[in-house]
Amino acid sequence: MASTFKLVFAVLLLQLLDFCRGGKVGVDYGMDANNLPSPDQVSDLVKKHNIQYLRIYDSDPKVLKSLSNTDNELIVGVHNDDLSKFQFQSYVDSWVKNSILPYYPATKITDISVGVEVTDSPDAANLAVPAMRNVVSALKKVGLQDRIKVSTPLSFGVLSKSYPPSDGAFDGSHDNVLGPLLDFLEENQSPFMVNLYPFYAIGDSSLDAVLFKSPSSIFVDPNTGFSYKNIFDAQLDAVHFALAKRKSRSIPIIVTETGWPTRGSGRHRLAMASLDNDDDSYASIDNAQTYNTNLIRHVTDGSGTPARPDEELVVYIFSLFNENLKQGPETERNFGLFYPDMTSVYNLVFPGKGTGRSWCVASRQASNSALQNALDWACGPGKADCSALQPDQQCFEPNNLVSHASFAFNNYYQKNGLTDQACRFGGTGIVVYNDPSYGNCIYNVKSRDPNGRTWCVATSQASRSNLQNALDWACGPGKADCSEIQPNQRCFQPDTLLAHASFAFNNYYQKNGATDASCSFRGNAIKVDRDPSYGNCIYH
């Protein structure tokens, strides 16, 4: 037994994921309500609060469209009630064609979660993995299987044992689901998705341990010697160890739900039978703010967990809004960060894009004469690319001095090292940390690509007629090489106007100096710094 444990423990330590330090914090976009703001309003809200990662529980086209050409990364969902339809490949092919392809890649769909906590639903349990295989098959047909990953979120209840974390093990009664699921995840290099709610462990632990407030260790795992200061890490490592005992290869984990209710009474459906605490007494705004604030700090500080100190944590907070139609006890309806009128339930600061990005814009306190002189210098001797500010170009409107100066200042700032000095402009420029881009006017930033590359793609905000005209020009007078988007060629699929225009626009852009002007196409294109290549279709 001891040798078996040592082998499992060695696997867990040696096969760490190749992730960067510093984690990602997203939010679940719960929509079980009849009083929520429009998707366009929500898109503005998440941008305002620097929320980059979102998860939705369906594939609402209005939501997908509202998040196009933003920096948001999105997990799209499939309801348990739809799993029976997903047993048929023809249906899933049609779903991918109609619900994913019209929006991707303008909307950054990264994952598809098929079902929710299916092990808690006998009707859904045996349908999930066959449905997931059909989704992957449909994605393969359009070359997106490596760009969009497929998984299913499970509850923490799939573990039969979680203390100490090194004894973490899956409940054997779920083997009919877990066996095929883990095989699928390993085959497709997909993440294991799990919902963790330390809130419901208060009966077994102190409130401080659950709220990330313990000043010292709350326990030491006797098998590993790892010291734990909070329950979240203990639960997550229990899942890590359970996975390691079942699979020789490490599987990444996404915590698809965690959170804290601000009010309510009654027990949650996930509460373990062993708990006898009155959990509603802990449901408060103060505790919710403390938990989520400390969670964000923990995820983003790059410390990982005791068993996985070098692994990036990926966590989604439940949920964006309070949901007045949610079934169950009152706590279920009060996990939201915002009220339906978009006012904050409590203040929570998100880390933004997590890249340390900054922009330079014009100060509204500067005089018109000082701004004009600075703008003239930036677009002249400063050699900023101001072509997008010309009439009929994407950043001409609003046609005012502050807006034009802001765009020019930022272009110069990005090209000259992002230093404070590069944003001086005689005291008329200021550095900001929220993206000032709007509509099709993109305030370029220093590329996140390790080689500093940028690409040009079509914007989904453009009309079909404008996109078609721009595509015809690029492949005709523009002399872009469009041979790869012909039938049976590598970039023909997905056979959509948006995808074909993106490939053609980028080809023209790369051949013509990769300048802002060569990615205009009359406002129908935008520059991006993430490689839009997929499958065998390479955006050179």
Catalytic residue positions, numbered? 117, 257
Angle (deg, nearest 10), helices 89-99 and 128-141:
60
Q: Is 415 within 8 Å of 359 (Cβ atoms)? A: no
DSSP conformational letter for 190? P
% helix, strand, coil for the chain, step of 5: 40, 15, 45
| 169 SS3 class | strand
CA atoms within 13 A on the CB side of 127: 21
290 within 8 A of 275, measured Cβ to Cβ: no
Would you call 226 exposed, middle or buried from its count of C-beta atoms within 10 A (0-12, 13-18, 19+)?
Answer: buried
Measured CA to CA, the distance from residue 22 to residue 311 in angstroms comes to 8
The pair phi, psi for residue 343, each rounded to 5°, is -80, 150
Distance CA 259, CA 262 (A): 10
User: How many residues make up the chain in this entry?
Assistant: 540
Per-residue DSSP letter, 3: H
Contact 529, 449 (CB under 8 A): yes
Q: What does the DSSP assignment read for 258-272?
A: E---SS--S--TT--
Task: Please state, as a whole number, how many other Cβ atoms lie within 10 Å of the Cβ of residue 203.
Answer: 13
- Name the 3-class secondary structure at 128: helix
| Structure token pair of residue 29 | 């976009």
How far is residue 126's CA from residue 57's CA, in Å, rounded to a whole number?
A: 20
